[in-house]
Amino acid sequence: SLEGMFICPEGAATAVALNKLLVAGDLSPDENILLLNTGSGLKYLDV
């Protein structure tokens, strides 16, 4: 897929944490999960 998310590092941390929880079996893939990302990757273009 060529689609993705251009999120800030803080928001990316929540996505990484979600993936780790799913892999560890602490969350079920069929659960409804909401991740909030209020920042944009545009703030970090120089990184």
pLDDT in tens, 25-41: 999 989 999 998 888 88
Q: Mean pLDDT in the chain? A: 88
Residue 16 pLDDT: 93
Tell me which long-range contacts 39-44 makes (C-beta under 8 A, separation of at least 24). Answer: 39/7, 39/8, 39/10, 39/11, 40/6, 40/7, 40/8, 41/6, 41/7, 41/8, 42/6, 43/8, 44/8, 44/9
Query: Quick one: pLDDT band at residue 17, thresholds 50, 70, 90?
Result: very high
